[in-house]
Amino acid sequence: MKKVFLEGAISPEFIADSIAKHQGKHSIGAHNIFLGQVRADEVGDNKVVAIEYTTYEEMANEKLHEIREAAFEKFNLTCLHIYHSLGKVGVGEICIFVFVSSPRRKQVYEATEWLVNQVKEHVPIFGKEILDNADHQWKVNS
Amino acid sequence: MKKVFLEGAISPEFIADSIAKHQGKHSIGAHNIFLGQVRADEVGDNKVVAIEYTTYEEMANEKLHEIREAAFEKFNLTCLHIYHSLGKVGVGEICIFVFVSSPRRKQVYEATEWLVNQVKEHVPIFGKEILDNADHQWKVNS
Amino acid sequence: MITVNYFGNIAEATQSDSETLDQKSMSLEELLNLLDSKYDIRKFQFQVAVNRKIIPKQQVLTISDSDEVALLPPFAGG
Amino acid sequence: MITVNYFGNIAEATQSDSETLDQKSMSLEELLNLLDSKYDIRKFQFQVAVNRKIIPKQQVLTISDSDEVALLPPFAGG
């Protein structure tokens, strides 16, 4: 089982490290990366300052495993990685990192889009949006 | 005029740095990144070990400027960056880095794909594939 | 013992992430009625997972000892 | 003086990235014939750019002093 959940924000250094790890695979010609960044959305007179993520981890890992298998069936990929934050991620910080690699570029964009949508729709992750007045509201994916 | 051409391979650290620079922009919710990596393609009995890139830089910069303007017209983007290597890039190293950011994810995949295709089709960049027997052949985009 | 896991705004309402009900067996309907009487859960939007699979709330199903039930508010990953 | 820039396999054939022709004015057709007689360039696949804009090779066009011509083999960026 690949590790998906990381405590706190996903750092640019972590992303660089993931990229570097793929430079030994000489059949890869194209990578596509999606990063979700926490926005300072306005909520009435207030602003989002962070999102606190929780998950139903056992079920999430089962779902993510199914999504991975389906992606390899559907697209011509050399490898794929999905990382998601748990706990607090501040505005401007990265909470999801989807990384797809393939010999050729054709399918990588669609594969990334499909994976991000699958995670949003089917993986039990919950987000508490913390506002600058210390109130909160529960995030719902649109 | 934004600087596109970099000498040699594009390092994971350069990519991490570009990502970090966008973490202060709190209206961004989604990034999409394309990376092209040099493959060890087989050419008869030999293998590609590196590609040496050259460009007609004045014309390339004019074209890239047009492509940028058209992308901002076409897609809802907060910012976009295109980097391409000149000189020698070894197998497993990164030669093109396209980075698109937007408030929401919907258009980022298509914008990235469009930009990569535009660069490949319209920007005068030339690639000499160096083989492991020191021969070479000229790369042609398919 | 039936384990029920709570998440998001439902965990907030139940003031707990998980509880175990001292029951050998009950129908899903009985379980949801019980939770509604304790926590007024029907005011929330949620899905039900039994043993980590989402099932329709109306499904006629007996929840037995060692089953793991979860109430899942709308997903918000990414 | 007309400047002609060469790239990729054409620069390899001409053994130079650029040359200046000591001409005040000539047609594009004359220029391409001259380069073909010197370097046999018609054996290559290439496009012609005049002042950094690609134009059809058959275009009836006078290349003048200070114009910048380039012979561009197939692009290979990315």
pLDDT, tens digit, 9 for 90 and up, residues A36-79: 999 999 999 999 999 999 999 999 999 999 999 999 999 999 99
> B96, D77: Cβ pair inside 8 Å?
yes
The DSSP secondary structure of B37-58, one letter per residue, reads: E----EETTEEEEEEEEEE-HH
Q: Are strands B136-138 and C2-6 parallel, antiparallel or unpaired?
A: unpaired
> Residue A132 and residue A38: Cα distance in Å, rounded?
14
pLDDT reported for residue A63 = 98
Reported confidence tier of residue C42, pLDDT bands at 50, 70, 90: very high
Q: What mean pLDDT, rounded, does chain B reach?
A: 97
Partner chains of D (3+ C-beta pairs under 8 Å): B
Instruction: Choose from A126, A129, A135, A142 for mutation: most chain C CBs within 10 A.
Output: A126
Point out which residues pair with A33 in neighbouring strands. A99, B33
pLDDT reported for residue B1 = 63
pLDDT reported for residue A1 = 64
The ipTM estimated for the assembled molecules is 0.95
User: Quick one: which of B78, B86, B73, B80 has its CA closest to B115?
Assistant: B80
Closest Cβ–Cβ partner in D7, D49, D77 for B120: D77
pLDDT reported for residue A29 = 98
| Nearest residue in C to A141, CA atom | C76
DSSP code for C42? G
Instruction: Choose from D47, D69, D75 for mutation: most chain B CBs within 10 A.
Output: D75
Using a 10 angstrom Cβ sphere, with 0-12 exposed, 13-18 middle and 19 or more buried, the burial of residue C1 is: exposed
Partner chains of B (3+ C-beta pairs under 8 Å): A, D
| Other beta carbons less than 10 A from residue A134's beta carbon | 8
**CB < 8 Å to B118, chain A:** none
Cβ-Cβ contacts under 8 Å for A78 (sequence gap 6 or more): A25, A27, A28, A101, A102, A103
Point out which residues pair with C69 in neighbouring strands. C4, C50
Percent of chain A with pLDDT over 90: 96
**Taking 80 as the threshold, does the pLDDT of residue B142 lie above it?**
no
**Taking 90 as the threshold, does the pLDDT of residue A13 lie above it?**
yes
pLDDT reported for residue B67 = 98
**Cβ proximity of A122 and A64 under 8 Å:** no
pLDDT reported for residue D8 = 97
Average pLDDT value for residue range B25-46: 97
Counted domains in chain B: 1
> C77, A127: Cβ pair inside 8 Å?
yes
> B36, D73: Cβ pair inside 8 Å?
no
Identity of residue B53: Y
User: What is the CATH classification number for the domain harbouring A48?
Assistant: 3.90.1170.40
Q: What mean pLDDT, rounded, does chain A reach?
A: 97
pLDDT, tens digit, 9 for 90 and up, residues D7-45: 999 999 999 999 999 989 999 999 999 999 999 999 999
> A123, C75: Cβ pair inside 8 Å?
yes
| Interchain contact D14–B (C-beta under 8 A) | no
Q: Which CATH class is domain C2-72?
A: alpha beta
Point out which residues pair with D54 in neighbouring strands. D49
B12 lies in which domain range? 5-138
Q: Which CA distances in Å does B14 have to A37, B83, B85, B97, C3?
A: 19, 10, 12, 10, 49
Reported confidence tier of residue A5, pLDDT bands at 50, 70, 90: very high
